[in-house]
Structure 1
Amino acid sequence: MDQIQFQIQQSLYRIRLAKPEPGYWSGAAALVVTSQLAALESELIALGQSLNW
């Protein structure tokens, strides 16, 4: 179980690093990427919380 939690935390870290910087990305592409990464981040957080129950 600890290994799964560790992998979730690593994935969350990578997602946060991958989010587009406003100065480098703009327009629809940035919006889509940011939206998809936010959704994935939310799912990983929920998964991590459900494992703690």
Structure 2
Amino acid sequence: MVARTLAGCPAKDVKAFVADLKAKPGKRNFGSLGSGSSPHVAAKLLKKMTILMPCM
């Protein structure tokens, strides 16, 4: 999986990226090709693995 951020993003690695997401809940978003696409599923998996989203 390849993740891309905008130039102004303070995170320079995955650990910093996850820390930034946790510090600002609900302030970040992502784009994908649509529900069920590989990027969409990968983003949901990242959220679940990093405890950004409660398990259901």
Q: TM-score, normalised by structure 2?
A: 0.32
Q: TM-score, normalised by structure 1?
A: 0.33
Query: Which structure carries more helix by proportion?
Result: 1
